[in-house]
Structure 1
Amino acid sequence: MKGPGTHPEVGASGFQLPPLALYVHIPWCVRKCPYCDFNSHAAGSELPEEAYIDALLADLEQDLGHVHGRELTSIFFGGGTPSLFSANAIGRLLDGVEQRVPFARAIEITLEANPGTFEQAKFAAYRQLGINRLSIGVQSFQEAKLKALGRIHDGDEAVRAADMARKAGFDNFNLDLMHGLPDQSIEDALEDLQTAIAQGPTHLSWYQLTMEPNTVFWNQPPELPEDDILWDIQEAGQALLAERGYAQYEVSAYARDGLRAQHNLNYWTFGDFLGIGAGAHAKLSSPEGRIIRSWKTRLPKDYLDPAKRFQAGERHLDQGELPFEFLMNVLRLTDGVPAALFTQRTGMPLADLAAARTEAEARGLLLKDPERLVATPEGQLFLNDLLQHFLP
C-alpha cells in the first residue's frame, strides 16, 4: 500500500492543493441510538456487502477527476458501524481504492467499531489488511448510562474490546467517550475517564452529549446535568487527562505520545477529502483554487439503485465564504495554525482578515499573534462568538 510521493501545486495567488483524504461511509448499525443524528440505519438479517462495495468503487471512479495527481494521506471508515462488514469486503474495497488512487507511505487507515461487534479473528484480519488505527465507540462504561444511551454493549464488553484491539495488533486506537450524560455526576464522569485511560488508548475523543434535531432525544429529551455540573466535569476531566499524559489538541480530542488523528487534522486544517458512500460529504479543490462541497445520495436503497446518481448535490464556495469556512475548522485546534495557511488553502491574502482579526483580538477571543491564527482559551469556549467576526 505504497504510492509515489507528490508535490502540491502552487498557484499565482499563493493557493496550494492541500493534502487529500478519503472518507468511506458504511450506513448500517445493529440499531439506531436515540442521540444519534448521523446517517445510520438498522441492519437487517443480511447486509448487501458485495453490492455496496461495488457501489463504493463506482462512486470513487466518478470522483477521480478531483484527485489531480495527489495521493491519499488517510482513509476513515465511518458509520453507522463499519465493523459490521467482513474483512473480505473491506479488503476488496481497499484494494480497489489503491488501484485508483495511490496511498502515501505513512497512510493512516482508521476503522470505527463498536464493542458489541468485536471478534478477535475479524479484527486481526482488519489489521493484516493495512488498517492501522481503530476508533472504538464506548461512550460510557457504566451500565445505567449505556442503557440510557441505547447502546448494545455493557462496560465489560467495552474493556474487552480495547484488550482485543491490542491483541489484534492495534497499537494506535481511539476510545470515544461522552460526558454530560443523563443523571451523571462529576464522580461518574471521572470514573468513566479513569476506566478509559486504564485501557491504554493512544487517543481519546471526550465530548459532551448534545441534543440534535431529528433524534429520539430531541423529541423526548432526558434529564441532563445542570450547567454548573457540566462545567465542573469539563474542568476536572481536562485536568485528569493532562495529568495522565493526554494532550488536548482540539476541542474534544486528546492524544498521547503525539499520536493525533491525522484524518481529523486534515479536516481541521481545511484539507481536501473525497467522500464515498450513502450520505457522504466531500470538500475538494481544483488546481486553480476553486473549492466545492458535495454530498452523496443519503438512503442506502437509493445509493444502491443503479438508476440513480451517487451525487445528490454540490456547492461552490465563493470567496466571501472562505474566511468563515476556513476558520470554522482551524480555530477548533488548541494551537491554531500558521497564519500563512490561510492563503495556501484559500488563495486569499491574509490582509483580508485584518479588520475582523483586530475586532476578535480586542474582545479577547483571538490571540494577538501575527504569525498564527489561534483562539484564546475564552475563544475556544465561545467559538461561535469568535466566528461571528468572520461571517460573510
Structure 2
Amino acid sequence: MTESSSAPPPGLVLAVLPPLSLYIHIPWCVRKCPYCDFNSHQAGPTLPEAQYVDALLADLALEMPAVQGRSISSIFFGGGTPSLFSAAALGRLLRGIEQRIPFAADIEITLEANPGTFEQDKFKAYRQTGINRLSIGVQSFQAQKLEKLGRIHNGDEAVRAAGMARAAGFDNFNLDLMHGLPEQSLDEALGDLRQAIDLGPTHLSWYQLTLEPNTVFWNQPPLLPEDDILWDIQEAGQALMAEQGYRQYEVSAYAQAERAARHNLNYWRFGDFIGIGAGAHGKLSFPDGRILRTWKTRLPKDYLNPEKPYKAGEKLLPPDELPFEFLMNALRLTEGVEAELFTQRTGLPLAQLAEARRAAEQKGLLRVEPERLAATPQGQLFLNDLLQYFLN
C-alpha cells in the first residue's frame, strides 16, 4: 500500500543529506536455488536485455527529484544473477546513468556474479565498462554441498572464477560463502573457508544458512547441523579469518584493510539509496525531513509492461520509527557509528535515545561510550534483543 508522502513529519530537518548510492536489480537466474528468498526468476532461452535497460533508465528518470544535487558514491548490481547480462548491456546502462547523475571520482561499482557464468573475455569487458568490484557467489567448494544448495557450478569452477576475476583486472572482489550447510561438519566448514582465503579475495561475506519462508528449504527442510556445531563453526571461522588478516566489521562481513564494501557501509550508516529494477527497494531523504522507503513492482513481466508503474509503493517513516530503523542498520557494524550520526541522518536529538541506551547498557548489550552507538560482543550475538529497547 502506498502511503502519502506530501507532508514532512513535524520537527524534522536534515541539515545535510546522506551520501547517495544506487542499487540495480537484475531478477533472472539460470535456476532458482532452494534456499533463496530473493526476487529471482528462472531465465528463459533469451533475456530481454535491451528492453530491461530501457526500463531501468526510465525508472531512474522518475527518481531524479530524490538526487537533490548529489553524486553517486556506489552502484551495486544485485539479483538474481546480474552476470547473465552482457557487458554491452551493462555498459549502456552505466553510460545512461552517468548522463543523468554524476559519479563520485572514487565510485565503487559492484557486480554480483555466479561462477557458472564466468567467461574470461566477458569479465574483461565488464571491467572495461567501469565495473571495479565483483561479488562472487561461491557458497561452498564441496560438490555434495553445492548439489544440495542447487548451485549450477562446481568447486573447480569457483576456484577458476577467482583467478579469472584477477586476470580480468579486478583487484577488489568478494567471495560469498555459507556455513551451517546441510549435515556440514566443523572440518568441512573450515575447509571451505580455508579454500576461499587461499584464493586471496579482498573481502569475505560469511554467513549461516537460514531457512526462509516461501523457499523450497522452508517447505522441505534439510538436516542442518546442531547448535553446538554451529557455534563451534562460528568461533573457529572468525578466529581463522582474523589470523589471516580479515577484520570483521559487520555481522557477516570480513575485509582486508581498507577493503570494506562501501556500498553496504552506506546502508548500515543509514545513507540513501535509489533502487531501480524489478523488486528493488530504496531509502531516500529530503531536506524538509521526509525519509521514504520505496519499492518497485516485483514481477519482471509487470516491470517491463509500459502500462504499469515501476513503483509499487512507498512509506513515509514516522519519527517514532526512526530510532529503530537507524539502529537496526548501525548496530550491525562491529564498531557501531559515531553517536552524532543519529541526528545527522534522522533529524532527531540524540537525547531521544537516552533512556533506551541506559537500559541496554545495564544489560551489557550496548557499549558505554557516550560518543558512539555500538553493540557489545554480547549485543552483536543477541542483536534482536538489543533492538527491542529502541522500539516505540
Both structures adopt the same fold (TM-score exceeding 0.5): yes
Q: 1:47 to 1:370 in 2, by over 3 A?
A: same
**What is residue 299 of structure 1 aligned with on the other side?**
299
| Aligned 1:203-214 pairs, distance under 5 A | 203-214=203-214
- Could you state the TM-score of these two structures normalised by the residue count of structure 1? 0.97
**What is residue 320 of structure 2 aligned with on the other side?**
320
CA-atom RMSD, angstroms?
A: 0.9
| Aligned 1:281-296 pairs, distance under 5 A | 281-296=281-296
**What is residue 130 of structure 1 aligned with on the other side?**
130
Q: Give the Å deviation of 1:15.
A: 4.0
For residues 1-32 of structure 1, the C-alpha deviation after alignment (integer angstroms, 9 at most, x for no partner) is xxxxxxxxxx9956420000000000000000
Verify the 8 A CA contact 1:15 1:289 in the aligned structure 2: no
Q: Determine whether 1:225 maps to 2:225.
A: yes
For residues 26-80 of structure 1, the C-alpha deviation after alignment (integer angstroms, 9 at most, x for no partner) is 0000000000000000000000000000000000000001000000000000000
CA distance in 1, matches of 2:14, 2:47: 47
| Aligned 1:9-24 pairs, distance under 5 A | 13=13, 15-24=15-24
User: What SS does the aligned partner of 2:298 have?
Assistant: coil
Q: Give the Å deviation of 1:353.
A: 0.2
| Aligned 1:179-258 pairs, distance under 5 A | 179-258=179-258
**What is residue 3 of structure 1 aligned with on the other side?**
none
Verify the 8 A CA contact 1:184 1:224 in the aligned structure 2: yes
- Could you state the TM-score of these two structures normalised by the residue count of structure 2? 0.97
Aligned partner letter, 2:316: H
Percent identical pairs in the alignment equals 75
Q: Give the Å deviation of 1:287.
A: 1.1
Which segments of structure 1 move beyond 6 Å, counting only runs of 4 or more? none
**What is residue 336 of structure 1 aligned with on the other side?**
336
**What is residue 37 of structure 2 aligned with on the other side?**
37
User: What SS does the aligned partner of 1:124 have?
Assistant: helix
CA distance in 2, matches of 1:159, 1:370: 46
Aligned partner letter, 1:146: L
Q: Give the Å deviation of 1:257.
A: 2.1
Verify the 8 A CA contact 1:109 1:133 in the aligned structure 2: yes
For residues 137-192 of structure 1, the C-alpha deviation after alignment (integer angstroms, 9 at most, x for no partner) is 00000000000100000000000000000000000000000000001000000000
Q: Is there any run of 5+ residues in structure 1 with no aligned partner, and where? A: 1-10
Q: Give the Å deviation of 1:288.
A: 1.5
**What is residue 111 of structure 1 aligned with on the other side?**
111
**What is residue 4 of structure 2 aligned with on the other side?**
none
CA distance in 2, matches of 1:167, 1:46: 28
**What is residue 121 of structure 2 aligned with on the other side?**
121
**What is residue 177 of structure 1 aligned with on the other side?**
177
For residues 61-101 of structure 1, the C-alpha deviation after alignment (integer angstroms, 9 at most, x for no partner) is 00001000000000000000000000000000000000000
Verify the 8 A CA contact 1:15 1:343 in the aligned structure 2: no
**What is residue 354 of structure 1 aligned with on the other side?**
354
**What is residue 7 of structure 1 aligned with on the other side?**
none
Q: Report how many aligned residue pairs link the two structures.
A: 382
Aligned partner letter, 1:98: E
Verify the 8 A CA contact 1:21 1:274 in the aligned structure 2: yes
CA distance in 1, matches of 2:321, 2:365: 21
CA distance in 1, matches of 2:165, 2:77: 16
Q: Give the Å deviation of 1:258.
A: 1.9
CA distance in 2, matches of 1:162, 1:69: 38
CA distance in 2, matches of 1:92, 1:145: 37
CA distance in 2, matches of 1:133, 1:14: 32
Verify the 8 A CA contact 2:14 2:288 in the aligned structure 1: no
For residues 202-225 of structure 1, the C-alpha deviation after alignment (integer angstroms, 9 at most, x for no partner) is 000000000000000000000000
Verify the 8 A CA contact 1:15 1:345 in the aligned structure 2: no
**What is residue 270 of structure 1 aligned with on the other side?**
270
User: What SS does the aligned partner of 1:324 have?
Assistant: helix
Aligned partner letter, 1:48: P
Q: 1:299 to 1:12 in 2, by over 3 A?
A: closer
**What is residue 8 of structure 1 aligned with on the other side?**
none
CA distance in 2, matches of 1:355, 1:257: 36
Verify the 8 A CA contact 2:12 2:289 in the aligned structure 1: no
**What is residue 345 of structure 1 aligned with on the other side?**
345
